[in-house]
Structure 1
Amino acid sequence: MTLKRNLFLAGAIVVASAGFAQAEMVATAINDLNVRAGPGPQYPSIAIATRGSQAMLDGCVQGSRWCRVNVNGVRGWVYAQYLQVEQAGNRVIVEQHQADLGVPVVTYETTSSIAPADPAPGDELLGPVGSVEAISPPETVTTYVQTNPAHTVRLRGDVVVGAAVPEDVTFQEIPDYQYRYVRINDRPVLVDPGTRRIVYVYN
């Protein structure tokens, strides 16, 4: 598991569920995830949980897609769309099954005197609205991406499958391939030009 640490802590978390004495819930990251200091993309990343990493799920904010986890001793917040748990022998996405999984409810209170800055319009990657079909690019596409480095675009937010790319970002065409290529925060990604959503992230 790869961890990127940051000394900035933006707040404190209060567990709202009175009966939070149940067995700890183990979740698995289905993509590389930024573990953030607070429940939102505007909070700084304090760690990175790599794809397949296991995390102890403390709970999720009611009415929100953000959940608090403990990843290798680092406690922070991740997007529930990219967490899955075992339920009756099946792997299910936490965001879609919070109620029937019995995920505890937690609340978040900011204690820092520095409030997180609101992102400017078009300045962050939005989370997915719906599911995105995962793809596996052919070797010819990977070779093209490696041999044709694009200018990197700096954006706030998590560079993950399903995230929407702002309208002002230009994509690079790949010969004889339906998806486009763009480099976001030094990470090459493939994008569906119709939906502008990321369909593959190169590690």
Structure 2
Amino acid sequence: MTFKRNLFLAGAIVVGSAGFAQAEMVATAINDLNVRAGPGPQYPAVGVAPRGSQAMLDGCIQGSRWCRVDVGGVRGWVYAQYLQVEQAGSTVVVEQHQSELGVPVVTYETTASVAADPAPGDELLGPVGSVEAISPPETVTTYVQTNPAQTVRLGGDVVVGASVPNDVTFQEIPDYQYRYVRINDRPVLVDPGTRRIVYVYN
């Protein structure tokens, strides 16, 4: 985790008010969250905030859903809609109550050393859609492990439901309805009809 954290710190400058360290508040992750190196899905994950974990909320970008948090010593960016805080005895979602909660406003500046942005012309994974989650049989897992495919580099989150661009070629798996492709060094199974990811190998 250290090298990922260092990449984030070297690659970005976060600018906020001088006194906002005192204004930090504790937020709880509603779902498992990728903590990203910058305020956008194109930035790499530098850590994960498991569902129910507590995060120190530094602040949010004005007019944006992205907020900066510190989770277990890893600092990065998450969606405000997946953070909740306690207010007057009830739990509220940060995105819907930023102003009344007094969440500090922070800004984000990229520098030339940021390697998180996709290069110009890089393709992105499509928007996430609804798919039926699957659990591949052992025979398929064995096939994927013993037949490593060349990795395809794409921007965006490699998650179940994301659509894969049309020019990406899938590898057939014997006697199996789904196809196999390796995206950003992560093997995934794809529905060839919808081109959506149905399973991601860890």
TM-score of the aligned structures, taking structure 1 as reference length: 0.67
1:164 aligned onto 2:201 = no
1:137 aligned onto 2:136 = yes
Higher helix share: 2
Structure 2 partner of 1:91: none
Q: Is contact 2:80–2:95 with CA below 8 Å preserved after alignment?
A: no
Shift of 1:57: 6.0
Match for 1:8: what amino acid? A
- Measured in 1, the distance between the counterparts of 2:25 and 2:200 equals 34
Which consecutive unaligned segments of at least 5 residues does structure 2 have?
Answer: 87-92
Q: Is contact 1:67–1:80 with CA below 8 Å preserved after alignment?
A: yes
One of 8, 11, 18 as aligned partner of 2:10: 8
Shift of 1:178: 2.4
Partner SS state of residue 8, structure 1: helix
Shift of 1:53: 8.5
Which consecutive unaligned segments of at least 5 residues does structure 1 have?
Answer: 88-93
Partner SS state of residue 10, structure 2: coil
The C-alpha deviation readout for 1:153-186, integer Å capped at 9, x for no partner, is 1223332223322221101122232221101122
The C-alpha deviation readout for 1:120-147, integer Å capped at 9, x for no partner, is 345233442x344322212121111112
Equivalences for residues 145-156 of structure 1 within 5 A = 145-156=144-155
- Measured in 2, the distance between the counterparts of 1:86 and 1:177 equals 45
Structure 1 partner of 2:32: 30
Q: Is contact 2:35–2:76 with CA below 8 Å preserved after alignment?
A: no
Partner SS state of residue 24, structure 1: strand
Taking only aligned residues, the RMSD between alpha carbons, in angstroms, comes to 3.8
**What fraction of aligned residue pairs are identical, expressed as a percent?**
57
- Measured in 2, the distance between the counterparts of 1:139 and 1:86 equals 42
Q: Is contact 2:42–2:157 with CA below 8 Å preserved after alignment?
A: no
1:198 aligned onto 2:200 = no
1:39 aligned onto 2:39 = yes
The C-alpha deviation readout for 1:45-104, integer Å capped at 9, x for no partner, is 3723276683516265466453433222121113568x57699xxxxxx7xx94279885
- Measured in 1, the distance between the counterparts of 2:148 and 2:83 equals 33
C-alpha distance 149-48 of structure 1, shift in aligned 2 (>3 A): same
Partner SS state of residue 149, structure 1: coil
